[in-house]
Structure 1
Amino acid sequence: MSSLRAKIQDVFNEPACEQNRGKDAKARKEGCSKPLTPGAAAGGCAFDGAKIVLQPITDVAHLIHAPLACEGNSWDNRGAASSGPTLWRTSFTTDLTELDVVMGRGERKLFKAIREIKEAYGPPAIFVYPTCVTALIGDDIEAVCKRAAEKFGLPVVPVNAPGFVGSKNLGNKLAGEALLEHVIGTVEPDDAGPYDINILGEFNLSGEFWLVKPLLDRLGIRVRACIPGDARYFDIACAHRARAAMMVCSTALINLARKMEQRWDIPFFEGSFYGITDTSEALRQISQLLVKKGADPEILGRTEALIAEEEAIAWKKLAAYRPRLEGKRVLLNTGGVKSWSVVHALMEIGIEIVGTSVKKSTVEDKERIKQILKDDNHMFEQMAPRELYTMLSEHKADIMLSGGRTQFIALKAKTPWLDINQERQYPYAGYDGMVELVRQIDLAIHNPIWRQVREPAPWDCQPAVREELPRTKSETATVQAFKKFAGTMADELGEC
């Protein structure tokens, strides 16, 4: 536990963190993450954060050393996609029981589970995750992993991020520490070149990275490792031989980027593949970093030619949507890199941003939003569901972009909604992704269902009162006969 405390303190003191830079030495020790209250880690603990970062490494077996309930459902891992191996979708757990805890059989059971996975699946590596239970009872995960690696001849990586140590974001960073300590730099590639880069913090949600990689391929730039989206263990182990790196989500793996620059002289920058302008700028910065590291300067010209070609195609496709979407108001209830990158992307086609959440955003993210929107009046740290509903029901936004947790607020307010978070079904990165995002917004806003659901329900409509027409003699006789019959039946049946 002492080594775990040291790692946590090291992450809290991360000098590359924009928020830490403005603090004095005493305040910096408190770290960027908010302290947890009892029960607040449920569904967003450090273990959850570590597994989110590492599970998209697709050919690795991910073993959870814990009671069965800690594992949950690993299928699809929030929409991350794989172009090959599917082992990452298989759940492995030691299924620790009360008897195992009382009898002290946790370490023995873990070693046995590692052996079974090795024999049945033969993965290139096994990642072992302790949780609150196994950390509290004192199972020595690192010793077991070291012994198993020697015995079975494959890397067994301990990921020390039990849930009680902090938030999901802290778990993201601890996962990066595990890669630095046990994976990156353990294999020397025989094909390192001057155009190799790493992409950090890209999860390949809905296959988004597959829209960007072809652009890099056309420039002759090879992605040595995309961490973690659609990654392979061998690629990550060789990641230390890349010449440059791009950081997509700094809140998750900023410590990994900084330490790789420190240890292996891999310069990095933070960018975004959301929106036409940001995608072009990211390609430029990648090429510029490679030239600084020794690549042929002619790549700069090829990059500009590619950007000009792709932008022309994208703007031509978007021209059809501009008249339909220009002036439409969007409420963005997300966070992190999307709080500014998606804002910039939407404003490029004339969409108005009425608000954007900055709950998971860094100080640098917030500064970028201020520069894009020219003020901070449209930024909110967190908006309660009641406030969201009020804003939408009063028609202050034409559509809300958010995650699945708040979709029902929009639906209750009879407002179009589009999933922009991890569970989304469509990729929105790169030039083609921007066109797809705009297409989905257009489909959502102009869907005829909204006109129908906003009409008054039939039972809320009062029927028009018509003037009673005079009855004929026969009709009058019929009505009187019916009333007489009804009165007779009531006398016979009595009161209910």
Structure 2
Amino acid sequence: MSSLRAKIQDVFNEPACEQNRGKDAKARKKGCSKPLTPGAAAGGCAFDGAKIVLQPITDVAHLIHAPLACEGNSWDNRGAASSGPTLWRTSFTTDLSELDVVMGQGERKLFKAIREIKEAYGPPAIFVYPTCVTALIGDDIEAVCKRAAEKFGLPVVPVNAPGFVGSKNLGNKLAGEALLEHVIGAVEPGDAGPYDINILGEFNLSGEFWLVKPLLDRLGIRVRACIPGDARYFDIACAHRARAAMMVCSTALINLARKMEQRWDIPFFEGSFYGITDTSEALRQISQLLVKKGADPEILGRTEALIAEEEAIAWKKLAAYRPRLEGKRVLLNTGGVKSWSVVHALMEIGIEIVGTSVKKSTVEDKERIKQILKDDNHIFEQMAPRELYAMLSEHKADIMLSGGRTQFIALKAKTPWLDINQERQHPYAGYDGMVELVRQIDLAIHNPIWRQVREPAPWDRQPAVREELPSTKSETATLHVVQEFAGTTADDFGEC
């Protein structure tokens, strides 16, 4: 536990974080995340954050050492996609019972589970996650993993991030520490080259990194490791031989990028693949870093030629949507890197941003938003559901872009909504991804269903005034029917 405490303090004291550098020594020790409330639900805890970062490593077995309830989301925890192995989607847990805890059988059960996974699946590595229960009862996860690695001849990586130690963001960083300590540098590649890069903090949600990788391939740039999206254990183990790195989400893995720069001299920058301008700028910065590390300067010219070609194609496709979307108002309720990258992307085609959330955004993210919007009034830290509903129901926005948790606020306000968080069904990265994002916004805003749902319900409409038949005609018709059936019985109608 003392080693875990030391890791947490080291993660909190992050020199690469502008926000952290501005604090005094006492405030720095507390970190940036809000403390968890004892007894609160596990969602958003450190264990959840660590699993989010590491589970997309597709060929690894992820073993949760805990009671069954801790592995509640067994199939998937994000919309990350794999181009091959599916082992990462299989749930493994030691399923500790109360009797195991009382009798001290946790470590023995963990060792047995590692052996069974090795014999049944033969993965290149096994990642072991303790949770609150196993950390509190004192199971020595690191010792068991070390012994199992020696016994079975494969890497067994302890990911020491039990839920009670902090927030999801802290778990992200502790996962990065586990990779640094046990995985990165474990294998020496035999094919290291001057055009190798790492992409950090990219999760390949809905397979959107597959829209970017072909661009790098055309430039002759090889992605040595994409951490964690569609990653393989061997790729990450060789990541220390890359020449440069791009950080997509600094909130999650800034510590990993900084320490890789310190240990292996891998320079990095933070960029975005959302939007045409940002995608082009990211490609330029990657090429410039590679040239600084010894690559042939001719790659700079090839990069500009590729950018000119792809931008022309993308703008031509977007021209069809501009008349339909120019001036439309968007409310962006997300955070992190999307709080500025998506804003910039949408403004490129004339969409107005009426508000963007900066929850989970770094100081650098917030500064970028201020430079893009030129107005602090459109930036909010967190908006309560009641305020969101009021804003949408008063038609201050034509569409809301957010995660699934706030979709029902938009639907209640009868406002179009589009998912841009991890559960999204469409990839939005790169040039083609930007076209797809605009296409989905256009489909959502101009869907005819919104005109129908905004109309009053039939029971709320004023009843139409109908003409009454003259009383004499009505009485005559009724008398005729009575006379026609007078004296008949049920038998006269036959069987029904």
Is the structural similarity TM-score above 0.5? yes
Q: Is the 8 A contact 1:246 1:286 kept in 2?
A: yes
Q: Does 1:56 align with 2:64?
A: no
TM-score w.r.t. length of structure 2 = 0.96
1:342 maps to which residue? 342
Q: What is the deviation of 1:478?
A: 3.7
Q: Is the 8 A contact 1:177 1:256 kept in 2?
A: yes
Structure 1 regions of 5+ residues with no counterpart?
Answer: none
Range with greater deviation from structure 2 (424-433 or 455-464): 455-464
Distance 2:171 2:474 in 1: 85
The change in CA–CA distance for 1:389 and 1:490 in structure 2 (over 3 A counts) is farther
Q: What is the deviation of 1:24?
A: 1.7
Range with greater deviation from structure 2 (68-77 or 348-357): 68-77
The change in CA–CA distance for 1:474 and 1:181 in structure 2 (over 3 A counts) is closer
Q: What is the deviation of 1:462?
A: 1.6
Q: What is the deviation of 1:76?
A: 3.5
Distance 2:386 2:462 in 1: 30
Distance 2:173 2:326 in 1: 40
Q: Is the 8 A contact 1:41 1:167 kept in 2?
A: no
Q: Is the 8 A contact 1:275 1:431 kept in 2?
A: yes
Q: Is the 8 A contact 1:81 1:207 kept in 2?
A: yes
1:489 maps to which residue? 489
Distance 2:277 2:261 in 1: 27
Q: Deviations over 1:299-336 (max 9, x none)?
A: 00000000000000000000000000000000001100
Q: What is the deviation of 1:493?
A: 27
Q: Deviations over 1:261-307 (max 9, x none)?
A: 00000000000000000000000000000000000000000000000
Q: What is the deviation of 1:473?
A: 5.6
Q: Deviations over 1:176-201 (max 9, x none)?
A: 00000000011100000000000000
Q: What is the deviation of 1:464?
A: 2.2
The change in CA–CA distance for 1:368 and 1:493 in structure 2 (over 3 A counts) is farther
Q: Deviations over 1:180-239 (max 9, x none)?
A: 000001110000000000000000000010000000000000000000000000000000
Range with greater deviation from structure 2 (45-54 or 14-23): 14-23
User: 3-state DSSP class of the match of 1:224?
Assistant: strand
Range with greater deviation from structure 2 (373-382 or 88-97): 373-382
Q: Is the 8 A contact 1:56 1:77 kept in 2?
A: no
Q: What is the deviation of 1:490?
A: 24
Q: What is the deviation of 1:370?
A: 0.4
Q: What is the deviation of 1:426?
A: 0.3
Paired residues, number: 496
1:247 maps to which residue? 247
Q: What is the deviation of 1:27?
A: 1.6
The change in CA–CA distance for 1:494 and 1:31 in structure 2 (over 3 A counts) is farther
Q: What is the deviation of 1:28?
A: 1.3
TM-score w.r.t. length of structure 1 = 0.96
Distance 2:400 2:21 in 1: 34
Q: Does 1:117 align with 2:117?
A: yes
Q: What is the deviation of 1:467?
A: 5.0
User: 3-state DSSP class of the match of 2:63?
Assistant: strand
Q: What is the deviation of 1:383?
A: 0.8
Structure 2 regions of 5+ residues with no counterpart?
Answer: none
User: 3-state DSSP class of the match of 2:401?
Assistant: strand
Q: Deviations over 1:149-201 (max 9, x none)?
A: 00000000000000000000000000000000000011100000000000000
Distance 1:189 1:4 in 2: 31
Q: What is the deviation of 1:485?
A: 15
Computed over aligned residues only, the root mean square deviation of the Cα atoms, in angstroms, reads 3.7
Q: Is the 8 A contact 1:68 1:93 kept in 2?
A: yes
The change in CA–CA distance for 1:22 and 1:478 in structure 2 (over 3 A counts) is same
Q: Is the 8 A contact 1:159 1:175 kept in 2?
A: yes
Q: Is the 8 A contact 1:41 1:164 kept in 2?
A: no
User: 3-state DSSP class of the match of 2:486?
Assistant: helix
Q: What is the deviation of 1:376?
A: 1.2
Distance 1:476 1:385 in 2: 62
